[in-house]
Amino acid sequence: MGKKEVLVIGGGIAGISFAKAIKSSENLNVTVVTKDPFYISGPSRPLLLTNEQSYHRIIRGYEEVGQSGINVVFGLVSSIDPGERVVKISENPTKHSAKREIKYDYLAIAPGVVFDGSKIEGYQKYWWKNSNVYEPGRVDVLKRKLWTQEKGVAVVYAPKSPYRCAPAPAETAFAIHTVLSHRGKRGNFRIIHIDGNEKVQPPLLHDIIKERYEKAGIELITNKEIVGIGESEVILNDGEKVPYTLLAMLEPNRAPAFIKEAGLGEAWVEVRDPKDLRTPKYDDIYAFGDAAKLPFPKNQEIAYESSIFAANKLLEEVGGEAYSITYSFVGWAYVGNLEGELRTESLQFGLNFNTSPPKGSKDATPKNDYTSQKDSWEQSYLNRLYHNAI
C-alpha cells in the first residue's frame, strides 16, 4: 500500500508547523501550496515603523523546507473540490508552477485571512488612501507617511473581532505616537483610535492601554465601526465624520473565497471541535490557524497550537506519535515609548484556555525587556520552521 498524499494550503506558521509535524509519519507524502516564494513574519511588523525591526530579519525562504522532504508548490488556490479530492491552483509568475490540479488523500487548510473592505462605502475608490502594519507594502507606505508628514490627523481602526493579531491596531497607534514624538511633531497631530469592539483588543489589556493612551494624548472611540471612506474623512456607523491625513485602517477579516465556494464555511472554515479540526462534512479535510472558526484569538500561538492538534488527529489515523499540546500562551503587546525614544516598551499577558472561563494573566508594567522577549520568541519560530539546522 502506497503512501497517502497530504496537501497543505498555506505556507505560514500554521501550515509549515503542520507539515513538519506529520512528516514524522512514514506513511505520508506532504505537499505545501503557498502563494509567495518567501514568508514574512507578522508579530513584529509594527516595529518596522520605528526602525526597531528590519525586513531581512523577518523574511524566510522555503528552500530548507523543501530540502527537508516537503514538496513546496508556489501558486494561488482557486478552488477546492472536496468530492473529487482536487485542488486547483493558478500560476505563480515568479516560479515554475503553471495552472494545474493537485489531488490529495488528506487536505489541510491554513491559508490565513483576507482583508476585505468591500462593504465599506467608498473603499473601491479610496482604498489607496489606506495603509496598515499587516502587509509589507502597506507598512512601507504607512512608514513613509509617518516620517514625512508635518501635521494632521492619524486615524487607526480595528474592526469587530475576530481579526488577526488582536493588539496590532493599538500597537500601531503607539508606534505613531512614538515616531511623531521622536520627530518633534507630536504636537502637530491628533491620533485617534477607532475600535469596532467595546474594548481595545485584547480585552485583558484594555484598561492598561486606555490609561497609557490618556498619557500619550491618543483619543479612543470604542464600539463604533467605519462604514465609509472618503478622500479626507471616514464615516462611522452613527454618522459621525472623522477627518484624517494618515489612515491606518484594518479591514474586516475573512477566509479566502474558495472556502465558501467549496461549502466549507461562510466567513471561516467550520471545524468539529478545537481538538478535532476536521470539517463537519469531510473526514479527510482539516482546518486550523487564522482561517479556522475557533473560539480563540487569531494569533501565531493559536495558529501553531491548532496545527499540532490537527496533526495529532491525522497521525492518530495514519500512524505516528502524537505531540503534547494545549491551548494556552504567553504573549506581548507593544505600547510604544511615551518619551519618543525609538525603544519600544511592551506589556506581557497570558491566556489559558484549558480552564472555564479562560484564565488570564498580565503584567501592568511596560518593559523594553518584554519587547526583546517577543523578538526572541518570533525568531525562534522562524528558525525552527524555516531552517533545518536550528
- What are the tens digits of pLDDT across the range 52-62? 999 999 999 99
C-alpha 241, offset from chain centre: 29
322 touches 316 (CB < 8 A): yes
Mean pLDDT across the chain, nearest whole number?
96
Percentage of residues of the chain with pLDDT beyond 70 = 97
φ and ψ at 69, to 5 degrees? Answer: 105, 0
- At 341 the pLDDT is 98
H or E element, residue 173: helix 168-183
Residue 237 grid coordinates: 456607523
Euclidean distance between CA atoms 306 and 325, whole angstroms: 9
Residue 304 Ramachandran class (φ > 0 left, ψ -120 to 50 alpha, else beta): alpha
The pLDDT confidence band at residue 97, using thresholds 50, 70 and 90, is low
Q: How far apart are CA 314 and CA 307, in angstroms?
A: 11
What is the model's pLDDT at position 100? 87
State yes or no: pLDDT of 33 exceeds 70: yes
Residue-wise pLDDT for 246-298, tens only, equals 999 999 999 999 999 999 999 999 999 999 999 999 999 999 999 999 999 99
Within its chain, how far is the Cα of 145 from the centroid?
Answer: 23
Determine the pLDDT at residue 390: 39
Domains located in the chain, CATH noted: 4-113+255-327 (3.50.50.60), 116-252 (3.50.50.60)
Nearest Cα neighbor of 38 from 52, 54, 58 is: 58
pLDDT digits (tens, 9 = 90+) for 37-84: 999 999 999 999 999 999 999 999 999 999 999 999 999 999 999 999
Predicted pLDDT at 99:
66
| pLDDT tens profile 298-345 | 999 999 999 999 999 999 999 888 999 999 999 999 999 999 999 999
Cα separation, 224 vs 3, whole angstroms: 52
